[in-house]
């Protein structure tokens, strides 16, 4: 039986038939890693905030939002997969954990902010591996221009400033057209104005990337950036940005010209805006060479003491304890079982001691039509070597929890 309430950030909330937040997720609320000045996430946040002069920096907004704020206000269709219980955390039908910082666009625009950055923890149900974690941090940024002579002058001046800075810099940019038939201007917009705003957005982000990725170490290699056409329900045209770093293209952000319906809903008249959303862990993992996303949550001094405010330094791994893997196979109940539901029970039972969960086998019995799945769970502690007995004990706990919770039939 599910408890009738859950306690989050010191308040009680009623549960209902959609409640799927687990206690290991609930514990993450209020940790506020992005607000710690000597934590890699806080350091990256600080660097970006320092780069965007004159922007209001917001970082203390509750992660509890209505689905209307997270999805409807931004034009997400009714059947968008992000809304599914398998992808997002719900407290109840009326309240969820934000899945992105865009959930705060309308209220921030409505509060009158015209140049702002908003950093926050966001929550998505996802697979378990070294770069995915159900809680991560994003920064949303937006800039509104008045659609009049003064606003367009400001836009032109700032575009010129950024263009001349980038012209002199060691940066290689693969660009795409601001607007195209597959990445269209909004019907409410004058194509020329929309293109100017998109151009300013691109220059603003190229300049940020130059600041973050250039100038570390003695490298004379250019910073390489590539712009890619994208789609978001709440921007058009839309783009994604990738940076070439240590031999790989990394996607670091999404952005675009804000849908006019968002500004209308926010009571911002006669204006046009751009917005971007970037992943702080993604940036921090590369800039600090942090190999595993779980490390951000470490309370170990050997991790925390390595960082200081305002400085990007190279993380030195302090432990390499061996992994201990165990397989679990079971027959699914008649109602099925989503892999994410399984992963959540693993996390909720053993926390960060589960490094990876991998589906290694699956088949359906030809006669009985029952489906069997086999998951391999890799147990590893960041802080000590797990003994075989400890790994067995963890694995037994996981097995009995999934059996209890989903009525699966364990096979091994």
Name the site residues for ligand PHE (rule: CB under 6 A): 100, 102, 140, 232, 235, 254-256, 275-277
Q: How far is the CB of 240 from ligand PHE (least distance, A)?
A: 8
Q: Which is nearer to ligand PHE, 71 or 232 (CB)?
A: 232
Q: How far is the CB of 303 from ligand PHE (least distance, A)?
A: 27
Between CA 146 and CA 127 the distance in angstroms is: 43
Cα distances (Å, whole numbers) of residue 263 to 146, 185, 314, 365, 389:
12, 16, 41, 54, 58
Cα distances (Å, whole numbers) of residue 100 to 71, 278, 407:
10, 10, 33
Q: Which is nearer to ligand PHE, 76 or 303 (CB)?
A: 76
Q: Which is nearer to ligand PHE, 39 or 259 (CB)?
A: 259
Q: Which is nearer to ligand PHE, 67 or 256 (CB)?
A: 256
**What is the C-alpha radius of gyration for the chain, rounded to an integer number of angstroms?**
23
What is the DSSP secondary structure assignment for residue 178, as one 8-state letter?
S
Q: Which is nearer to ligand PHE, 69 or 100 (CB)?
A: 100
Q: How far is the CB of 121 from ligand PHE (least distance, A)?
A: 13
What is the DSSP secondary structure assignment for residue 132, as one 8-state letter?
B
Between CA 36 and CA 197 the distance in angstroms is: 33
What is the DSSP secondary structure assignment for residue 263, as one 8-state letter?
H
End-to-end CA distance of the chain: 27
Residue of this chain nearest to ligand PHE (CB atom): 277
Q: How far is the CB of 70 from ligand PHE (least distance, A)?
A: 10
Between CA 177 and CA 159 the distance in angstroms is: 17
Q: How far is the CB of 204 from ligand PHE (least distance, A)?
A: 13
Q: Which is nearer to ligand PHE, 275 or 394 (CB)?
A: 275
Q: How far is the CB of 32 from ligand PHE (least distance, A)?
A: 19
């Amino acid at each position: 039986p599910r408890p009738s309430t859950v306690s989050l950030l010191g308040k009680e909330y009623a549960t209902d038939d959609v409640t799927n937040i687990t206690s290991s997720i609930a514990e993450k609320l209020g940790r506020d890693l992005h607000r710690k000045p000597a934590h890699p996430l806080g350091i990256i946040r600080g660097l970006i905030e320092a780069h965007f002069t004159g922007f209001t920096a917001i970082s203390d907004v509750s992660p509890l939002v209505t689905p209307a704020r997270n999805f409807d206000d931004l034009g997400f269709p009714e059947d968008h997969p992000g809304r599914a219980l398998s992808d997002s955390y719900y407290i109840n039908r009326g309240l969820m954990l934000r899945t992105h910082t865009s959930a705060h666009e309308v209220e921030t625009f409505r509060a009158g902010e015209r140049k702002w950055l908003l950093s926050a923890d966001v929550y998505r149900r996802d697979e378990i591996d070294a770069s995915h974690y159900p809680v991560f941090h994003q920064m949303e940024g937006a800039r509104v221009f008045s659609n009049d002579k003064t606003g367009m002058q400001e836009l032109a001046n700032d575009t010129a400033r950024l263009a001349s800075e980038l012209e002199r810099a060691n940066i290689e940019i693969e660009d795409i057209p601001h607007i195209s038939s597959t990445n269209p201007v909004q019907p409410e917009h004058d194509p020329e104005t929309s293109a100017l705003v998109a151009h300013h957005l691109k220059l603003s982000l190229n300049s940020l990337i130059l600041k973050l990725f250039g100038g570390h170490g003695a490298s004379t290699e250019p910073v390489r950036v590539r712009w890619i056409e994208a789609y978001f329900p709440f921007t058009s045209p839309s783009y994604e940005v990738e940076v070439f770093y240590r031999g790989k293209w990394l996607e670091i952000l999404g952005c675009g010209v804000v849908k006019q319906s968002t500004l209308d809903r926010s009571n911002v008249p006669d204006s046009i805006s751009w917005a971007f959303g970037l992943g702080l862990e993604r940036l921090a993992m590369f800039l600090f060479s942090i190999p595993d996303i779980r490390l951000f949550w470490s309370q170990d001094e050997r991790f925390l003491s390595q960082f200081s405010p305002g400085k990007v330094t190279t993380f030195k791994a302090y432990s390499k304890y061996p992994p201990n893997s165990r397989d679990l196979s079971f027959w699914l109940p008649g109602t099925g079982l989503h892999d994410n539901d399984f992963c959540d029970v693993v996390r909720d039972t053993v926390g960060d001691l589960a490094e990876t969960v991998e589906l290694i086998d699956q088949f359906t019995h030809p006669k009985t039509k029952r489906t069997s799945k086999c998951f391999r769970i890799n147990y590893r502690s960041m802080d000590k070597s797990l003994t075989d007995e400890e790994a067995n004990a963890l694995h037994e706990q996981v097995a009995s929890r999934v059996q209890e919770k989903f009525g699966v039939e364990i096979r091994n």
